Chains A and B, each alone.
Chain A
Amino acid sequence: MKPISFSAIALALAALAPVAQAQDAVVNLYSARHYPSDEALYSGFTKATGIRIQRVDSDDAGILSRLRAEGAASPADVVLLVDAARLWRAEVDGLFKPVKSKVLETAVPAQLRAKASDEGTAWFGFSTRARVIVYDKASVKKEDVDTYEELADPKNKGKLCIRSGSHPYNLSLFGAMVEHMGPEKTEEWLKGMVSNMARSPKGGDTDQIKGVASGECAIAVTNTYYLARLMRSTNPEEKAVAERVGVVFPNQTTWGTHVNVAGGGVAKNSKNTANAIRFLEYLASPEAQNHFANGNNEWPVVPGLKLDNPALKAMTGGNFKSELINISAVGMNQIKVQQMLDRVGFK
């Protein structure tokens, strides 16, 4: 290779070198949240506190393996994840530094945070999303789809659209079902869903909703914020999709609708613990909670806040019953659930 290229590489490398930055007011954030609207959340924090946010967003698995490898050298201060099973996994692997904060303990309900030890609490939930059923208003009666169990009922044969069973949102739902119904019944249930499918699982939740609206299927499973986004869209095509489908919060008369939690905690090796806690406390503030509700169509965790998201309101008619379940159990069921999926051919 020509020597000229080496100097060019050296030059370019110099351009890539991180600029030395003042160590003062900064929070280093590893986030698995993938929502562009979160930018407003971060700038709100900087405006309120003067603390700058440095951020890497990736997927949950990437963040966990990165933290494990970095060990004590990790620059991360705060870790945000978007799935209960992952939060549990990170807690078990000791990736969080338990903290004590009066503000957080008052704001976040006990079932939406880790069990407190003597050192404190490992992670806190900041927003939730419900996993609901949507159906074609023209061809399906609401009574036929108002429980998760009915997704597997032969009366719904050939109607169901659902994303891959191995996606964390489904794994968490199925893991919760194991808690409610026991493993044998859950496997039966999964098998029933496979034989009810209108097509083999592909795409994301939004694709499933569109599948119902276009008539490819009649029933689909989705997280609420995808549906809320379609409902609030300014795009007429998307609005029409939302108008064609009905939504039902399943199992209102039994154990309640499955709810997943997004949250986070202070990273194990944080060097700015005080700032990290301030950031977490900010996430529980009315301003940030309102952002979760309005900016990203999630439910805030802090009780008593006025919810003024029209789509979420329209969906529930005010309130709904959510399941009360041990999050660690859902995490622990994950492998079992995947093996059931493999056995019954749920892709």
Chain B
Amino acid sequence: MVRTGFRWTSLLLPLCALVLVLPVLALALTSLQWDAQAADVLRQMAQTVLPEYAATSLWLSVAVAIGVAVVGMGTACAVTQFEFPGRHLAEWALLLPLAMPAYVVAYAYTDFLQFSGPLQTLLRETFGLRGRVFPEVRNLGGAVWVFTFTLYPYVYLLARTALAERASQLMEAARLLGAPLSRRLREVALPLARPAVAAGVALALMETLADFGVASYFGIQTFTAGIYKAWLVMDNRLAAAQLATLLLASVGALLWLERHSQRRLRFASGRGQRSGGFEARPVHLRGAARWAAWGVCSVPVLAGFVLPVLFMLRPLMEGWEILPIGAYGQWARNSLLLALVGAMLATALAFWLAFAQRRQPNMLTRGVVQLVGLGYAVPGAVVVVGLLLPVGWIQRVAPQASVGYWVTATVLGVLWAYMVRFTAVALQSVQSGYARIPPALDDSARMLGTSGVGLLRQVHWPLLRGSTAAATLLVFVDVMKELPATLVLRPFNWDTLAVVTYQLARDERLGEAALPALTLVAVGLIPVIMLSRTLQPRR
């Protein structure tokens, strides 16, 4: 075995992983303490509101999981398994909601549909009605709607990559063997896409659980809202840390269960990915089936992108002069730079971690990867607290080191927070890519004398290009939209589009917030379209 050239990584990996999990670790360690006040705060919360918070989060998670799985898988199947006019358009249009921050979608729907919004007012005036004419948007159902249609692209993207890379030949084989379409979908496509769908659902759920923006605006009380309450209102960081650790532990258990149940289902085929000559034929749709495909592909784009954008255009027309137009360039540049660097760093880290686990699947690498993978479920503000805790400790022990200064006066702190949260996103994508590369390939490569970096570069990289592009894209737009960490940790005079949007919304100027929000969406669209094109399977 060739090991000498690689020794440095054996030290570097745990070190780097430590930096990534430090905030979560600090949080967990803090939560082990006991103090009477925190215990009292928790006891009182447990007696009054906590059960309801937990139940709300549970229902929200279940509904969003079903929603994103159905929408994501349905759309992925439609664009990979069938041929219909507009399929190419749908292929990338389905990614558009990725560029929409969930809180912006929540504002947009509320503004338009609420009791005092234009639609209800118009209906009341036209028909001389009184009272509510359209159900309340700001409740659990509304939140499920918002999360489903902003987060389904995670599932769609990963499932589409999986199906496009693998499924066509197997589907073709099944067709030649006489299996009807429904059976081919059920018994070939679904199982093939399952790891990818599970990974996408996991991402969507972690994002849902970490959310505070939508929940607080809609006035629904989730478990995360409880964490915020313990931290901000009760001013009890210990109680907040304990609640956050509890949430993380449940997410960790869920992820473990998911992986465990899939163990037997993870399979990979080594042959025929780009075997040339052999063309798989997607099913051509006609008549009613064609209409159905159009419906499946257009409803998510409408609900997650077109409608919210249209809703925002209305207040935008009414007044936006408050912000200096000249500053937009600067804000967009800041957003783009952070997103670019964040995406590349997170993807590189994820690639490295996944490779390390692939090469040496032992307790250490597996544990590290699983811990890092949890980061996404940590609410942004909790990451900030977890990250600032150890910084504060070091700062107190060694004031000369100026760690505190480096974390906040430079972009290092923000980037660190991004890595803690978003390496998990990149990991999910890269890992679901790895799951499709048979281990036998590694063995063959080794026998041919290629291992270590060579294996990574010559064997894994070419096969993982699609998953890596997806990972970069996901992290990029996630960083663009990220709020709590950017808000708290950014250096002086470093406003981003997301920050400006939030500050205006916080000041209850939704009309004025529409412009930076739409700019954010527009800037986020560039990478979405670009990467969508590179992901296009070469047929």
Contacts and interface: CB of A to CB of B under 8 A. Distances in A.
Nearest to B472: A5
Contact of B507 (A36, A56, A65, A241): A36
Given A57-B503, A210-B116, A338-B229, A70 B405 contact: yes
Contact of B395 (A56, A69, A164, A166): A69
Contacts of B403: 73
A60 to B, nearest CB: 8
B487 interface: yes
B217 interface: yes
Interface residues of B, number: 82
B405 A203 contact: no
A234 interface: yes
B512 A36 contact: yes
A65 B395 CA distance: 14
A55 B48 contact: no
B235 to A, nearest CB: 7
Contact of A1 (B324, B348, B411): B348
A8 B138 contact: no
B37 to A, nearest CB: 9
A33 to B, nearest CB: 9
Nearest to A206: B508
B294 interface: no
B44 interface: yes
Contacts of A210: 116
Given A73-B395, A201-B219, A342 B319 contact: no
Interface stretch (B161-169, B275-283, B338-346): B338-346
A166 B53 CA distance: 15
B389 A334 contact: no
Chain A CB within 10 Å, residue with most, of B338, B348, B381, B408? B408
A305 interface: no
B115 A211 contact: yes
A18 B324 CA distance: 24
Given A15-B337, A18-B491, A166-B229, A66 B408 contact: yes
Interface in A29-83: 34-37, 39, 54-59, 61-63, 65-66, 68-75
B347 interface: yes
Residue with the highest number of chain B CB atoms closer than 10 Å, among A15, A207, A343 = A207
A16 B411 contact: yes
Contact of A58 (B132, B488, B507): B488
Contacts of A65: 384-385, 388, 488
A55 B492 contact: yes
B440 interface: no
B347 A338 contact: no
Nearest to A72: B399
Nearest to B321: A234
B399 A71 contact: yes
A138 interface: no
A56 B492 contact: yes
Contact of A69 (B319, B391, B410): B391
Interface in A199-228: 199-207, 210-211, 213-216, 226
Interface of B: 41, 44-45, 48-49, 110, 114-116, 120-121, 130-132, 136, 138, 216-219, 221, 229, 231-236, 318-319, 322-324, 337-338, 340-341, 344-345, 347-348, 351-352, 381, 384-385, 388-389, 391-392, 395-396, 399, 401-405, 407-411, 457, 461, 484, 487-494, 503-504, 506-509, 511-512
